[in-house]
Amino acid sequence: MSRRLVYVVGPSGAGKDSVLAWLRHHLPPSPTVHWARRTITRPARAGDEVHEAVDPPQFLALRERGAFALAWQANGLHYGVRASELAPIEHGGWVLVNGSRAHLDPTRSRFPGLTVVHVTASPDTLRQRLLGRGRESAAEVEARIQRTQTLQLPHALQVQNDGALEDAGHQLLNHLQTLPGWPE
C-alpha cells in the first residue's frame, strides 16, 4: 500500500512545483488520486500552491498533538502533511505529496515502498533559474548546486526538467501510468 504514496522531491530551481502544477492540470480527474495539501508556516499568496497557512506556534502545537503524518523544516519554514491527507491510501487510493529531499529517509522509514519521483535539471539550468530569482548570491547558488550533485536516488522515477515544461510533465505522467494499479 505504501507504494501508493507518491513523494515528489527536487532541488530548488528544478521546477518541481511547476511540473506538479502541469500534472494537476493535465491529469484526468479520478476519485482515487488525492493531492495532499500541506500545512506551511507561510502566508498564502496568489500564485502559490494552495496550502494551510499557520504561524510557527500553531504548527508546533499541531505537531505536538500528532496531527501530522509527515513534518519537516526547510528554508526557514515548517512543512507538514496532516495524517488525514494520507487516508485515501487506506482505501486503495493514491496520494501525491510535494515532499522534501532532506526528509526522504524518515518518510521512507515510515512508509516503506513509497514511490519517489525526483524532478531535477542540469547544473547549468539550475544555476540559470536560481540566479534569475535573485534571492541568493552567486556563491550561495553554487553551494546549492553542489549539494544537488551529492544526492543519489537510484530507485526514484526521474523527471528531467531542462526543456519545455510540457516535456517534463509528460515524463511524470508517463512514469505514473506505468505504476501497477495507477488509474487509467
Q: Is 16 annotated as a binding residue?
A: yes
For β-strands 157-160 and 115-120, DSSP reports them as parallel
Any known ligand binding at 17?
yes
Comparing CA positions, the residue from 163, 161, 171, 6 lying closest to residue 81 is 6
Consult the annotation and say whether 87 binds a ligand: no
Contact 159, 175 (CB under 8 A): yes
**Is 46 flagged in the annotation as binding?**
no
3-state secondary structure 29-87: CCCCEEECCEEECCCCCCCCCCCEECCHHHHHHHHHCCCEEEEEEECCEEEEEEHHHHH
Of 87, 80, 38, nearest to 60 (Cα)? 80
11 is in an annotated binding site: yes
15 a known binding residue?
yes
Q: Any known ligand binding at 169?
A: no
Residue 124 is labelled as binding a ligand: no
Residues 6+ apart with CB under 8 A from 147: 11
The amino acid that residue 141 corresponds to is: V
CB 83 within 8 A of CB 27: no
Residue stretches of the annotated binding site? 10-17
Residue stretches of the annotated binding site for ATP? 10-17
